[in-house]
Structure formats: C-alpha cells, structure tokens
Amino acid sequence: MKNIKYFFFVLMVLITVSISVCAQKTNIKDYVRIEIAPDHNDWTYQTGEPVSFQLRVMRGNVPLTNVPLTYEIGPEKMKPVKTGKSNMDKGVLTVKGGTMKEPGFMTCTAYVTVDGIDYTNYINVGFSPLNIQPTTTMPADFTEFWQTSLAESAKIPSQPLLTLLPEECTPEINVYHVRLQHYKKNTYIYGKLCVPVAPGKYPAVLRVPGAGVKKNPAEMTLANKGMITLSIGIHGIPMTLPEQTYSDLSNGVLNNYAFLHLDDKENYYYRRVYTGCVRALDFLTTLPEYDGENLGVIGGSQGGALAMVTTALDKRVKAVVAYYPALCDLTGYLHDRAGGWPAMFAPRNEKLNKKTEKIETSRYYDIVNFAKLIEAPGYYSWGYNDPTCPPTSYYAAYNVIDAPKLLFVAHDTGHWRTKEQDVFTIDWFCKQLTK
C-alpha cells in the first residue's frame, strides 16, 4: 500500500514539474529585443499622412546604446524603399517613414547584433486600410460554377459512419469520430463530432481547420457551452491515425497541396474542400439533437477562409467567425502588393505559378469573391503584424462584405491571437446562435 501511495506521489510531482516546464517554455522571450513603435496609437494613418517610428534595443527592459542597428521601410512584403543605419548612441532612434499614396500597409523592419547574436523585429502600419480594394475580379460564371459543384456533390450519398471515442468523452459531452462520403465514391471527409449528453435541441457549429496535415482536435470549448460541434479535416484522412502518418503525408504527397492542379479550376485541390464544408453542414442538420435553426461556422487562417466560403455558399449559416483568413486577394503580388497565403504568385513562386490558366483558376477560389456573397452576420479578427496572411490581403476581402460585420484588430499580433480576441468573438458567436 505504501508503495502505491509513493508511486502516485512521484507521478503527481512529475506531472506538476512537466506542466511547469511547458508553461515556462511557452513564455520564453529573447533577452534582447528590438522595440518599434509608430507615432499613432492605433497604428493607422490616412493615405498621404506621414508616419514616424521610434526604435529601441532593449535588454532586461533597459535601452542599449552603441549597438549598430539597420532598418528598412517599404510596402508590406515588397522591397524596401528606404534603408538606414544608426549606432543608437542615444538609446533611441526616430525614423521618418514617409507615407503611402494608396491604401495599404507599410513595414518597418530592424536588425541588430548584440554579443554575436542576431535579432530582428518588424511592425506594419496601415494607411486607410478600410479603403483597400481587391486586385482580383469575379468570373462571370462564378456563382454558376459553385452551384454546379454543390449539385454534383449532393449526388454522392454521404453514408455517415459514427464511432464513439470513449477516451475523449466527458460526463457532459459524447465525442464521435465521423466519416462522410463526399466528392466521389469511397472518398471521405473525417472529423470529430461533439454532442451534449443531456437531452435537448442545440445549435450546431462547424469548426474548419487551419492549413497543414494534422490531427484536428474535437471542438470542446463550444460544446461545453451547449452546442453540437463538428471539427473536420480537409484531406480525406481519418483523425485517429498515428502522428507520424500526418507528418509523412505533409512532407510527401500533400506537400504544397494548395498548389495542386492550380491550372484546372475543375480539379483544383480546394474544389473538394469547399464543397466538403457544405457537406459537413448537411450532416450536422440531420442530427436529431440539432435545433433546426442555429448553424454557425468558425475558423482561423485557412479555417478563416473556409468559414467565409461556407457562409457564402450555404445560406443556412446564421453566424460566422473568421480569424486572419487565408486565400484572400491572391493576385495581389501581380499588382506589386501583398497577396494572401499560400502566396502562389509571390516572387518565389512566380516561375511555377505565374501562368494565365493558374491566375484564372485562382479567381474561382479567392475569398474576395466569396466575401461578396456573404449574407450572415460575421465577426472578423486579426492583427497588423501577420507574416503568413498579410493584412493587405484580408482587408481586401473584408471591405467587400455587405452583410453585418464586426472587426476586432489586435494590432501587434501576428499569425496568432490573444485571449481577448477569443473571448469577445466567442461571446458574440454564442449570442448569435442562442437568440
């Protein structure tokens, strides 16, 4: 008996230490950091209005002096138009960044070497971002193309297969692994379904995934708030495989999947994905626990894009939350400004993708053109410092939405979000679906 007690004591100590170490790792920061601050608190300027940046090199929260610093300023993701150097002899440097004549974002990047270690940082400031207009255009047969695509998808029987996952269930929530046939025979969508145990009728939410090939977890946060949730993958891969399998696929046949068949709008990779999201909603609405009215979609990055696409294609959606959506204004790079992930027309990908048929295909999948069709109210959120999904690109999509919309900008965030963004958007989302 004493041995058993000792075993559990040691186990609890190890768990506590492990949690502590993990928590510390997530809070690791460089001892030396470059601070860059614009002279407008909201990081936002009108076109033609000058901006200045204040730069410091900090160590232990104390400004360093006499450390050579280099800076670059220019349009977001484009070549810098202004460069300079300073010895930082006063510990602070004010740099005039000029202005932008057209709506968009300007980047100020700084580099420094301290004790042989290189450091860098950057910030983006916006110039009339709510006036940014897209570079892409909507094809004349855009709506017809997607109506046909959905009709073809609907002909495939979904044949849902649900498998209880006892190890993931809680006393309040049953969790199932779900398989839905889609696109063609023996091709599937997989996901994890959460259904409240207590009898009743509930709103339903589709959680769409960010980019990558991975095992997407069940959406428990919203399930614990009294909602049916379905978290799906997009690659037709079960959500219960060993982790190594996803890594192998990501580095193998699914590497750069966002470029697959880009020269053919009928067979481009995301055609199956976009229609698959609607198929997932079809499944949710058949569940006996669904309240028959309140249907929502939520996601970030690629998931933000898919949330907007699904809302545009399916008028049953009552509310959408999209964080820093990808796939927005993809042709931006062809017009000398930042375009959305996966940056298919950026200089590094021009040789592969800068072709007429690929540019044409992109127009059928660009979130800008879906945004024009959104009718449901939405809450959108991002920061200015996103290197993956540039703010220039998602403002191009946000600005063409005619439906009721809210925007939460956490200016200094990158391709991640703060707890405040989650709290405010989720609170709004739940209210929309429980009115």
> Cβ distance 230 to 195 under 8 Å?
no
Active site residues: 301, 386, 415
> Cβ distance 92 to 67 under 8 Å?
no
> Cβ distance 241 to 230 under 8 Å?
no
Contacts with 202 (C-beta within 8 Å, 6 or more apart), sequence order: 195, 196, 226, 227, 228, 289, 290, 291
What is the spatial distance between Cα 416 and Cα 420, in angstroms, rounded to a whole number? 12
State the Rg of the chain over Cα: 24
Which residue is it, tokens 């004010």?
94
Contacts with 111 (C-beta within 8 Å, 6 or more apart), sequence order: 69, 70, 71, 118, 119, 120
Which residue is it, tokens 């070497």?
113
User: Containing H/E element for 88?
Assistant: none
Residue 205 per-residue DSSP state: E
**Token pair for 354:** 């800068």
Strands 44-45 and 173-181: unpaired
